[in-house]
Amino acid sequence: MTGPAIIIAIDGPSASGKGTIARKLAAHFDFAWLDTGLLYRAVGLAVIRSGSDPADIDAATTAARALINSAMITKSFTEAELRSDIASVAASKVAAVPAVRTALLQFQKDFCTHPPEGKKGAVLDGRDIGTVIAPQAPVKIYVTASTKARAERRFKELQQKDEHVTYAAVLKDMEERDARDVLRVAAPAKPAEDAVILDTSNMTVDKAFAEALKITRQKLG
């Protein structure tokens, strides 16, 4: 690969559609893709596996450093485990710990500047990609949607997995997670000043991707 890697930063709250958009953009441009949320889910699950509370600062920090040092990151858990609601809630708790974010920071930055497999670019989705991980990214999109729309999407997703959940519980968890993400001291979830806001509340997956692709092409020239 010649020249610096092209970075596409996709941020936004849970169930906004950012992950699907990021994955599709990576496939379209043949770029590497990193769902940074899985890193925090892995840390959260590691804390639970150790018998501790994900909100425990020391336990969360220890788990994050252990995963990074072992180079296992998300490989310690199955895809189903990482995508579970338990992992989602745990992730938002460990993500509020500054030391956890510091432990995972360099891994994400390295992924941006040196995409695996010699790819020419990288697409990362999370909550602080455009503000902290890759503020130099030429493409920054903040994908959002109403809380109601996101809760409905998450509820349907969990129902398909046969998880015993109610819409009311999903909505409550989402509101609590949004509050933790926005109010945390370390890298609070917010759009980068130069990010393009993409509201997917009333969009299909295809429409949302088409809009994101249009924005990306405009930014890359």
44-91 pLDDT per residue, tens: 999 999 999 999 999 999 999 998 877 667 778 898 899 888 898 899
Q: In the beta sheet, which residues pair with residue 198?
A: 143
190 CA to centre of own chain: 13
Calpha distance 88→82 (Å, rounded): 8
Calpha distance 177→88 (Å, rounded): 9
8 A C-beta contact, residue 87 and residue 38: no
Q: How many CB atoms lie within 10 A of CB 50?
A: 13
**pLDDT tens track of the chain, all 221 residues?**
456 899 999 999 888 999 999 999 999 999 999 999 899 999 999 999 999 999 999 999 999 999 887 766 777 889 889 988 889 889 989 988 999 989 999 889 999 999 999 999 999 999 889 999 999 999 999 999 999 999 999 898 888 776 678 899 889 988 888 887 776 656 666 789 999 999 999 999 999 999 999 999 999 98
Question: pLDDT tens across 144-153, in order?
Answer: 999 999 999 9
pTM (2 d.p.): 0.84
User: Dihedral of CA 84/88/91/93: which sign?
Assistant: negative
Q: Which CATH architecture has domain 6-215?
A: 3-Layer(aba) Sandwich (3.40)
107 CA to centre of own chain: 14
φ, ψ for residue 143 (rounded to 5)? -90, 125
Closest CA to 134 of 101, 109, 166, 162: 109
8 A C-beta contact, residue 132 and residue 189: no
Helix (H), strand (E) at residue 190: none
- What are the domain boundaries of the chain? 6-215
